[in-house]
Structure 1
Amino acid sequence: MEISATELRTIFNKIVAKRTDIKTDGFSLETCRVMVNLMDESGNGKLGLAEFATLWKKIQKKSKMLLVIYKKNDMDGSGCMSTPEMRMALKETGFSLNDCIHQNLAARYGDADMKIDFDNFVSCVMRLEMMFKVFKRIDVDNSGFIELDFFQVLSVLQSNSTVCLNV
C-alpha cells in the first residue's frame, strides 16, 4: 500500500475540515507534494506504510506546535494571519528573516488581501526548514555564505531527501 500526494491531501483535508477555529481551504496538493517529497526515500513519488507512519508522527507533533503558534499570533482572532502576525509567528518558530524575505513570503503564501491561512503557514514553515537544512549542509565551513554554480545547486536539491527527513 502506497499513498500519493492526492491521497494524502484527502486524508489531511478530512481532518482539517473538522476544525472551526482556523480558516483554511484545506491542504493544497502542492503542500502534500512537498510532504511526500520530504519523506519519500524510494523516490517513487508515493509514501509506503513506514514512510507514511513516520510522516504522520512528525505531522502530529509539528502540527500541534504550529497550530498553537498560528492561533497565538492570530491577534485579531480572524482565523487567518496578517503579514505582521506571520512575521511574529515565523520568529516564534525560530526563523530570523530580513524584511525582504518576509515581504516575499507574504506575497507567496498570502491571498489577495495578504492574509495567510493555516495550510499556507504550514507550507511556508516546511519549505523554510528544508531550505535552511540544505543551506547548512552545503555551508561546510559554517561561514554563512556559499558559492555554488547551477550544477552544484541541482546536485544538492536532488540529494535533499537525506537532508530533509527530520522535518
Structure 2
Amino acid sequence: MANYGQPPYGQPGYGAPPGQPGQWGAPQVDPQVQAWFMAVDADRSGRISALELQQALVNGNWSHFNPETCRLMIAMFDKDQTGQIELPEFQALWSYIQQWKGVFERFDGNRTGSIEAHELGQALTGMGYNFSPQFHQMCITKFDFHGRRSMNLDQFIQCCVMVKSLTDMFSARDTQRAGRITVSYEDFMTMAVMTKI
C-alpha cells in the first residue's frame, strides 16, 4: 500500500488551512489582518491582485516574492475566480503563509533565510513525503531562480504546492494504492498543465 504523505488535516500543504472560507462558515476577521489587507490593497478596490500581493510579501533577505508564487497563492484562495481576493480570502491566505513560514523556519537550521537540499528533504519527510536525495536536489534546481543552490520562502511554498498538487493527482488515479499508475498521454498532459509550475 502506497504512502503519499498523509499527515493530520490542517498541517500546511495538506488540504485547506484551518478557517478557510466555506469550510465551517466565514471566520471572524482579525483586525490586524484587516489593517494589513487595507495596506496591501494599493488601488483601494477592496480586492488584492497578485501584483499587489507581490509588492507586500518579502523573503528573509528582503527580496519580494516571485510573481508566480503570488499568482499561485491568489489562485488557491480565489473562490469566485476573478484573479483577485477579498478580505475573507486574504485572511485564509495570511494563515496559509504563516503556517508555511513556520515550517520553513523550523527546517532552516542554519538560519540563513533559505533552505538547502538536505533541509528541504527533512521538511518534506516531516510532512510525510518520502523522496530520494536526488529528488530534493532536483526541486532545489527547479525552484532556485538565482543559482544559490537553496530556496527562499516563496520558492519553498511554490515547491510544496507542486508536490501536493501532483501527489493529489497521482493518488486519485492510484485507486489500489499500489504506488503505480498507468496514464494516457492526454491524462499526463492534463496533470502537467493543471500543475502549471
The two structures share one fold, judged by TM-score above 0.5: yes
Q: 1:66–1:38: structure 2 CA closer, same or farther, 3 Å change rule?
A: closer
Q: Is the 8 A contact 2:77 2:85 kept in 1?
A: no
What is the alpha-carbon distance in structure 1 between the residues aligned to residue 94 and residue 139 of structure 2? 24
Output the amino acid matched with 2:175: V
What is the alpha-carbon distance in structure 2 between the residues aligned to residue 2 and residue 143 of structure 1? 47
1:105 to partner: Cα distance: 0.3
Q: Is the 8 A contact 2:47 2:85 kept in 1?
A: yes
Are 1:128 and 2:166 counterparts? no
Aligned residue number for residue 59 of structure 1: 93
Aligned residue number for residue 152 of structure 2: 117
Output the amino acid matched with 2:133: D
What is the alpha-carbon distance in structure 1 between the residues aligned to residue 46 and residue 183 of structure 2? 36
Aligned residue number for residue 71 of structure 1: 105
1:48 to partner: Cα distance: 5.7
Match of 2:172 among 134, 137, 144: 137
Q: Is the 8 A contact 1:28 1:119 kept in 2?
A: yes
Match of 1:26 among 49, 52, 64: 64
Aligned length: 150
Q: 1:12–1:33: structure 2 CA closer, same or farther, 3 Å change rule?
A: closer
What is the alpha-carbon distance in structure 2 between the residues aligned to residue 119 and residue 62 of structure 1? 12
Runs of 4+ in 1 over 3 A off after TM superposition: 1-4, 36-44, 154-158
Of structures 1 and 2, the larger Rg is shown by: 2
Match of 2:140 among 106, 109, 118: 106
Output the amino acid matched with 1:62: Y
Are 1:86 and 2:120 counterparts? yes
1:118 to partner: Cα distance: 0.8
1:157 to partner: Cα distance: 6.1
Output the amino acid matched with 1:77: R
What is the alpha-carbon distance in structure 2 between the residues aligned to residue 143 and residue 58 of structure 1? 34
Q: Is the 8 A contact 1:70 1:118 kept in 2?
A: yes
Answer with 139-148 or 59-68: which moved more. Answer: 59-68
Structure with more helix by fraction: 1
Aligned residue number for residue 153 of structure 1: 188
Answer with 119-128 or 28-37: which moved more. Answer: 28-37
1:109 to partner: Cα distance: 1.6
Unaligned runs of 5+ in 2: 1-44
What is the alpha-carbon distance in structure 2 between the residues aligned to residue 120 and residue 98 of structure 1? 19
1:2 to partner: Cα distance: 8.7
